[in-house]
Amino acid sequence: MNQAVVRAAGIEDADGIAAVHVTSWRETYRGMVPDAFLENLSVARRAAQWRSSLSDPSNVYHRAWVAELNGQIVGFANYGFPQEEDEEFDGELYAIYLLKSAQGRGIGKALFTEAAKGLLALGSSSMLVWVLKENPARGFYEHLGGVYLREKPIEIGGARLMEAAYGWRELMRFRRG
Ligand SMILES: CC(C)(COP(=O)(O)OP(=O)(O)OC[C@H]1O[C@@H](n2cnc3c(N)ncnc32)[C@H](O)[C@@H]1OP(=O)(O)O)[C@@H](O)C(=O)NCCC(=O)NCCS
């Protein structure tokens, strides 16, 4: 099996990240999120958003890493300061998505570790992540030492869902990961 390459994302990766973003949403959230919302996702729209955020190096809200297999982007993670001010956590993993075909071979853990190290480099010492309550990815966060924090409602495509927060109070342990 070929080894994945994990590297910092640049503006030229916007299309590849957007394609993974949309495909992974459809693969992951079918049955959790309304079909109409998933069908309406657009790679072109996502790519434009990614291009804009990746073109601004001072934008700490969109630091991103990508994973490539055979020269094709198969996953990404992005992170920065918490989107909602938090009393306890000073970093957030905004998203981590892999194509289904690339899952289960260590790439998610590699991207997660780079996000944790990236946050340390930004001066953060802790991290939280929000995940849909029904998403089996909760097991991934728990496996990596995430502590369940709380839940809150979220509206996606007209459906009222719940999401759960997991937190890592000390990121230093990922420094050598
Ligand atoms: C969640 C996700 C990022 C994990 O990435 P991955 O590459 O499949 O996971 P890895 O192969 O790196 O697994 C790392 C470790 O976590 C464990 N693990 C992975 N997924 C798990 C799960 N759902 N439940 C419990 N443990 C899990 C693995 O067994 C592995 O353990 P090990 O290090 O002891 O061998 C990936 O499956 C994914 O993109 N899922 C769909 C999108 C999604 O839900 N993203 C999260 C949105 S909040």
The pLDDT assigned to 58 comes to 76
Residues 6 or more apart in contact with residue 104 via CB below 8 angstroms: none
State if residue 24 touches ligand 1 by the CB under 6 angstroms criterion: yes
Nearest Cα residue to atom 17 of ligand 1: 140
What integer is the mean pLDDT of 10-30?
Answer: 97
* Residue 75 Cα: closest atom of ligand 1: 39
The two three-digit tokens of residue 84, written as one number: 């909602």
Which numbered atom of ligand 1 lies nearest the CA of 102?
7
pLDDT at 125: 97
Reply yes or no on whether the pLDDT at 1 is more than 90.
no
Q: CATH number of the domain that 96 lies in?
A: 3.40.630.30
State the DSSP H helix or E strand holding residue 108, giving kind and residue range, or none if neither: helix 107-122
Q: Where are the beta strands (DSSP E) in the chain?
A: 5-8, 63-69, 72-80, 92-98, 127-132, 147-156, 159-168
| pTM as predicted | 0.97
| Atom 34 of ligand 1: nearest residue by CA position | 143
Examine the pLDDT at 2 and tell me if it is beyond 90.
Answer: no
Tell me if 96 CB under 6 Å of ligand 1: yes
Number of domains in the chain: 1
Please tell me the distance from the alpha carbon of residue 55 to that of residue 10, in angstroms, as a whole number: 8
Whose CA is closest to atom 31 on ligand 1?
143
- Which range of residues forms the domain containing residue 51? 5-174
Question: Is the distance from the beta carbon of residue 135 to the nearest atom of ligand 1 less than 6 Å?
Answer: yes
Predicted confidence (pLDDT) per residue in 104-126, tens digit? 999 999 999 999 999 999 999 99
Mean pLDDT for the chain overall:
95
- 37-90 confidence digits (pLDDT tens): 999 999 999 999 999 999 987 777 678 999 999 999 999 999 999 999 899 999
**Mean pLDDT throughout 155-165?**
97
Mean per-residue pLDDT, 140-150: 98
Angle at alpha carbon of residue 38, lines to 115 and 84, rounded to 5°: 40
Nearest CA owner, ligand 1 atom 18: 140
* pLDDT per residue as tens digits for the range 46-58: 999 999 999 987 7
Which atom belonging to ligand 1 lies closest to the Cα atom of 139?
24
Ligand 1 pocket test, candidate residues 107, 140, 156, most atoms within 8 A of CB: 140
User: What value does the mean pLDDT take over residues 6-13?
Assistant: 95
Categorize the per-residue pLDDT at 177 as very low, low, confident or very high, splitting at 50, 70 and 90: low
